[in-house]
């Protein structure tokens, strides 16, 4: 069919969980930073590979406390997050089931 283009749902596609998690965190009141600023500025960054989600919480000295609070938000979604504290930043890992 000439000129036919398949329907594309863009960032709301079911295959892209990173934007989905970012939207859910923003709706819950978290200030999620754009991925382009990652490693350049402090903030909260979401990465996804398949169903495995990783949230980098890099807020200087208060990263550990904020990561625990973010993990509580994720627990409210029915996920089981693991928090890993490093020097200066924290990581929250979980599997997001659709």
Residue 59 lies in a domain: yes
- pLDDT 10s digits, 18-68: 888 999 999 999 999 998 898 889 999 999 998 899 999 998 888 889 999
Round to whole Å and give the CA distance between 65 and 97. 25
Eight-state DSSP code of residue 7: -
Q: Is residue 77 part of a domain?
A: yes
Give the domain range for residue 77.
Answer: 13-95
Whether 7 is in a domain gets the answer no
Within-domain flag for 8:
no
- Domain total of the chain: 1
Alpha-carbon gap, residue 81 to 72, rounded angstroms: 8
Q: Is 15 strand, coil or helix?
A: coil
Note whether residue 56 is domain-resident: yes
> Is there a domain that residue 24 lies in?
yes
Strand, helix or coil at 70? helix
Start-to-end CA span in the chain (Å): 34
Task: Quote the pTM value.
Answer: 0.81
Closest to 20 (Cα-Cα) out of 88, 81, 98: 98
């Amino acid at each position: 069919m000439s000129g036919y283009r398949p329907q594309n749902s863009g960032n709301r596609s079911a295959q892209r969980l990173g934007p989905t998690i970012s939207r859910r965190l923003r709706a819950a009141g978290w200030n999620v930073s754009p991925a382009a600023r990652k490693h350049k500025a402090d903030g909260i960054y979401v990465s996804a590979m398949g169903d495995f989600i990783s949230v980098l919480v890099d807020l200087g000295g208060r990263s550990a406390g904020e990561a625990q609070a973010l993990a509580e938000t994720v627990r409210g979604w029915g996920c089981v997050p693991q928090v890993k504290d490093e020097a200066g930043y924290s990581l929250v890992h979980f599997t997001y089931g659709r």
